[in-house]
Amino acid sequence: MHLLSFVAPVFAARCTVVVAEDGACVVVDPGAGVAAAVAAEIAARGLRPAAVLVTHGHADHTWDAGALAETLDVPVRVHAADAYRLADPFGTLGALGGAAHDPSGPLGQALTAAGVDVHAYHRPARLEPFGADATDPRSADVTWQVGEVTVVARHAPGHTEGSTLYLLDAGDGQPVVLTGDVLFAGTIGRTDLPGGDGPIMARTLRDVVARLDPRAVVVPGHGPTSDMATELATNPFLARG
């Protein structure tokens, strides 16, 4: 397994392509402005995409999901509790989104600055929601196989209702977890946007994040990578002591 990383020009959201040894792959969190580069890289490497996955429904992580999925002829998979967000990327971001297609709001400004047409959002045509319970971070995992890579979708609500961790295990003793906006290096995601919930986030951190394999490499939705051993020891929201 290896990972290809792309940073979207809007809010610097990370898009990750998870590549198995046999060329199978999944794309995680294609934010605004990355679709062309991701599609070109997949074609150049002769990869076989299976799906577009999103960690949560905020527009900085999903803006290009529909267009890219159509180009690659694959479905978009998102936790059921966040599926509604992909129909309304502006309205589900609260003050950050502003009015639909409003170039004066924070999202509209960021899109315009990056050269992205605020009217060009492409709603996913093949949306495959998974999961059910919007509040229980202990709800059942969903698992897919991508070549030798086992991809486990683990519900981790708090930043949004359907926030999801993607646990990657290629059987090589080096697990990876894509944390979206739940966990960052040294901190955690905000809970003050619509659908965010501080107490639920606290439960997610306690019952889900703190129980992850300490060996796991942490690949967050923004900023530098880390590892769970470091986060468990030093992240003030997780540190044991």
List, as one string, the DSSP characters of 69-123: HHHHT--EEEEGGGGGGGG-TTGGGGGGT-STT-TTSHHHHHHHHTT--TT----
Euclidean distance between CA atoms 132 and 170, whole angstroms: 27
Euclidean distance between CA atoms 24 and 16, whole angstroms: 14
Q: What is the pTM for the complete model shown?
A: 0.95
pLDDT at 163: 98
Residues of the chain with pLDDT under 70: 133-139, 240-241
Q: Where are the domains of the chain?
A: 2-234
Strands 127-130 and 14-19: unpaired
pLDDT at 241: 47
pLDDT at 139: 65
pLDDT at 162: 96
CATH number of 2-234: 3.60.15.10
